[in-house]
């Protein structure tokens, strides 16, 4: 027995790797995703450290088990985040495809990331981290500073992670094809591949999406060039040589699109196992045969909605008296204490155990903003949804749910249209196809050949031992736009075709002229 324990200990030690997880604390979903990765790796016996630049001090670390190195918040960066989180703005009133909105977001987010990166570099933490000689460095694709730090830390392997899907230029930098003719942009909530206008709109959405992140991508690298010299590697050069990319996406509910072997989907990794509801919530869910859950996420606060939108939700509730509605509503304001309090089948709450409620058999439909976490929870629990995407990747998340007939999409600019919402709700509750498809996908996710946790652990071990593989690095990352699209070949082909056409035409005209002259002489 003692010999067996010694062998197990030796095996564990031999497979222990030093791992650094860079976790910029600016959004709950990002911190939770990366923190959960750190804890899973720590539980597997690895020596895990999380580097946390604390832009948002009220946001949890995400990890509860790994060692933590904190970088204090930059005051200007923290002020930007505070303004974004506490602003009294009804985000449903702004189109995600409005270039002015994209410009404002780009400027604000760019300033936040730029200023925090300056503070991170001022700490000179990279000097200490380089001495640690990490086997694996995991960093969020969203943060340019973390990616550029990789060159200073010099780990054996770099693994990019994405709390959502790949975005914008990340496709180009990694060499992943992006066929926009049938793969929706993050800002596209509906794509008809047979419609020229729909495909054109998708191209526009992709350009708006890239513009939104342009400020970050342009400003942050200038800090490194200024401090470490003009020969400091570019973001593209560092990204092209990563070992793997972990994305928080699930192919079984996504759009089928080309990818690479080094892009690993670990969707649903952070989804917790549902717990049994307490007495209060159990009584709410069993008041009527069906329950509808309404939650628009942390950024879209329901109490800030326009009176017409609130009235629309009230009308929806009164239209279905035999259905209980649970609505995440953050304040006990005049509406909550007045009109809403009069609706017998409506329950307002500033918090609820969303994952546990979704698992209840009486939960019929989830009305959600379509964040990646909520989308994965509803599909794991097998519930149809009405998705009201607001920004970020939510439009595309909504589109993929509708594409797979797991729910319907409602534009946030149409939320005040009670009749439309009522129609969508009736379709989801009365048409059995949606419930059947949702239940089937839930079973598929439960029986995947390899779980996301298994893939995470296996690929991290592999990257730690062998580092990046040149075989997984596509040559496209070294090609120019002209070379990648064969525009030089096409150009030469056009020139040759024009030259051959000219010679043929010249020959035909010449022969025709000779024949005509011969006829004239004969006459």
Confidence (pLDDT) at 90: 73
Q: Which of 96-110, 142-156, 255-269, 412-426 has the lowest mean pLDDT?
A: 96-110
Asked if pLDDT for residue 12 goes beyond 60, the answer is no
- 432 shares a domain with 462: no
The reported pLDDT for the residue numbered 320 is: 97
Q: Are residues 372 and 422 in the same domain?
A: yes
Is there a domain that residue 483 lies in?
Answer: yes
pLDDT at 11: 45
Of the two residues 102 and 148, the one the predictor is more confident about is 148
Is the model's pLDDT at 13 over the cut of 50? no
Say yes or no to pLDDT of 18 above 90: yes
Provide mean pLDDT across the span 230-245.
95
The CATH number of the domain where 105 resides is what?
A: 3.40.50.2000
Q: How far apart are CA 503 and CA 518, in angstroms?
A: 22
Helical ranges in 240-338 per DSSP H:
279-285, 307-319, 334-337
Integer Rg of the chain from CA: 28
Q: What pLDDT sits at residue 137?
A: 98
- 165 plus 36 within the same structural domain: yes
Residue 230 shares a structural domain with residue 311 = no
For the segment 91-101, what is each residue's pLDDT rounded down to a tens digit? 777 787 888 88
Name residues whose C-beta falls within 8 Å of residue 102's C-beta, 6 or more positions apart in sequence. Answer: 208, 209, 211, 212
Say if 195 falls within a structural domain. yes
- Pairing relationship of beta strands 385-387 and 407-409 according to DSSP bridges: parallel
Give, rounded to a whole angstrom, the gap between the first and last alpha carbons of the chain. Answer: 117
Q: Is residue 522 part of a domain?
A: no
Per the structure, the complete domain to which residue 432 belongs is given by: 279-446
Q: Are residues 29 and 53 in the same domain?
A: yes
Pick the range with the lowest mean pLDDT from 373-387, 458-472, 504-518: 504-518
pLDDT at 2 over 60: no
Helix (H) or strand (E) holding 463: helix 452-466
Place of tokens 């979704």: 358
pLDDT, tens digit, 9 for 90 and up, residues 70-115: 999 999 999 998 887 776 667 777 787 888 888 888 899 999 999 9
Flag whether pLDDT at 238 surpasses 70: yes
> Domain check: are 310 and 427 in the same one?
yes
235, part of any domain: yes
Same-domain pairing of 487 and 466: no
Of the given ranges (80-89, 149-158, 352-361), which has the lowest mean pLDDT? 80-89
Considering the domain architecture, whether residues 136 and 264 belong to the same structural domain is answered as: yes
Q: In terms of domains, do 434 and 469 share one?
A: no
Residue percentage of the chain with pLDDT more than 90: 80
> Which of the two residues, 242 and 300, has the higher pLDDT score?
242
Q: Which of 426, 446, 466 is the last residue of a domain?
A: 446
- Which residues lie closer than 8 Å to 332 by C-beta, 6 or more apart? none
Q: How far apart are CA 165 and CA 250, in angstroms?
A: 9
Same-domain status, 403 and 317:
yes
Please give the tally of structural domains in the chain.
3
The answer to whether 261 touches 177, Cβ cutoff 8 Å, is: no
Contact indicator for 427, 417 with CB cutoff of 8 Å: no
Could you tell me if residue 197 is inside a domain? yes
What are 477-502's pLDDT values in tens digits?
Answer: 999 999 999 999 999 999 999 999 99
Do 468 and 484 fall within a single domain? no
Do 18 and 134 touch, CB atoms closer than 8 A?
Answer: yes
What is the mean predicted confidence (pLDDT) over 119-137?
Answer: 96
Structural domain includes residue 521: no
Q: Is the pLDDT of residue 519 over 60?
A: yes
pLDDT of residue 88: 66
pLDDT over threshold 90, residue 123: yes
Q: What is the pLDDT of residue 272?
A: 81
pTM comes to 0.89
Longest dimension (CA), the chain: 117
Residue 410 lies inside a defined structural domain of this protein: yes
Q: Tell me whether residue 134 is in a domain.
A: yes
Q: What is the pLDDT of residues 50-70, one digit of tens each?
A: 999 999 888 888 899 999 999
pLDDT bucket at 191, cuts 50 / 70 / 90: very high
Q: In whole angstroms, what is the distance from residue 113 CA to residue 55 CA?
A: 9
Q: What is the mean pLDDT of residues 233-251?
A: 95
Same domain, 96 and 245: yes
Secondary structure (DSSP) of 69-135 = EEEPPPHHHHHHHHHHHH----GGGS-TT-HHHHHHHHHHHHHHHHHHHHHHHHTTHHHHHHHH--S
What is the pLDDT, as a whole number, of residue 87? 67
pLDDT for 395 equals: 94
The C-alpha atoms of residue 63 and residue 49 are separated, in whole angstroms, by 10
């Amino acid at each position: 027995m003692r010999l067996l324990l010694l062998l197990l200990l030796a095996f564990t030690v031999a497979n222990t790797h030093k791992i650094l997880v860079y976790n910029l604390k600016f959004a709950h979903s990002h911190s939770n995703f990366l923190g959960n990765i750190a804890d899973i790796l720590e539980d597997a016996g690895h020596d895990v450290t999380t580097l946390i630049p604390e832009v948002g001090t009220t946001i949890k670390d995400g990890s509860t088990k790994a060692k933590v190195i904190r970088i204090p918040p930059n005051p200007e960066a923290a002020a930007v985040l505070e303004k974004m989180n506490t602003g009294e703005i009804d985000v449903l009133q702004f189109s995600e495809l409005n270039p002015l909105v994209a410009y404002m977001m780009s400027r604000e987010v760019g300033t936040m990331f730029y200023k925090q990166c300056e503070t991170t570099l001022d700490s000179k933490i990279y000097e200490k981290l380089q001495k640690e000689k990490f086997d694996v460095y995991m960093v969020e694709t969203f943060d340019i500073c973390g990616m550029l730090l990789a060159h200073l830390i010099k780990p054996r392997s770099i693994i990019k992670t994405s709390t959502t899907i790949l975005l914008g230029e990340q496709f180009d930098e990694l060499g992943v094809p992006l066929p926009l003719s049938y793969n929706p942009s993050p800002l596209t909530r509906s794509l008809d591949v047979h419609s020229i206008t729909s495909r054109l709109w998708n191209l526009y959405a992709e350009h708006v999406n890239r513009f939104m992140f342009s400020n970050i991508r342009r400003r942050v690298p200038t800090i490194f060039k200024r401090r470490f010299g003009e020969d400091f590697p570019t973001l593209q050069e560092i990204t092209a040589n990563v070992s793997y990319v972990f994305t928080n996406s699930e192919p079984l509910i996504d759009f089928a699109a080309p990818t690479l072997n080094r892009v690993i989907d670990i969707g649903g990794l952070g989804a917790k196992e549902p717990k049994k509801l307490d007495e209060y919530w159990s009584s709410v869910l069993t008041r009527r045969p069906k329950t509808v859950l309404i939650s628009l996420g942390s950024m879209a606060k329901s109490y800030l909605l326009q009176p017409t939108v609130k009235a629309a939700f009230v009308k929806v509730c009164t239209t279905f008296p035999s259905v209980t509605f649970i609505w995440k509503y953050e304040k006990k304001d005049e509406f909550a204490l007045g009109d809403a309090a009069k609706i017998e089948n409506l329950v307002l709450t500033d918090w609820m155990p969303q994952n546990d409620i979704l698992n209840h058999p009486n939960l019929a439909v989830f009305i959600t903003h379509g964040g990646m976490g909520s989308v994965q929870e509803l599909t794991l629990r097998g519930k149809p949804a009405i998705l009201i995407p607001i920004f970020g990747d939510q439009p595309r998340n909504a589109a993929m749910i509708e594409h797979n007939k797991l729910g319907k999409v409602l534009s946030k600019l149409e939320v005040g249209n009670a009749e439309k919402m009522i129609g969508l709700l009736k379709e989801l509750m009365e048409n059995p196809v949606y419930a059947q498809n949702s239940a089937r996908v839930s079973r598929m996710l439960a029986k995947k050949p390899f779980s996301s946790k298994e893939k995470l652990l296996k690929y991290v071990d592999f990257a730690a031992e062998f580092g990046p593989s040149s075989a997984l690095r596509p040559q496209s990352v070294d090609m120019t736009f002209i070379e990648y699209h064969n525009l030089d070949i096409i150009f030469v082909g056009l020139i040759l075709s024009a030259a051959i056409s000219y010679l043929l035409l010249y020959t035909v005209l010449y022969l025709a002229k000779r024949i005509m002259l011969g006829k004239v002489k004969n006459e």
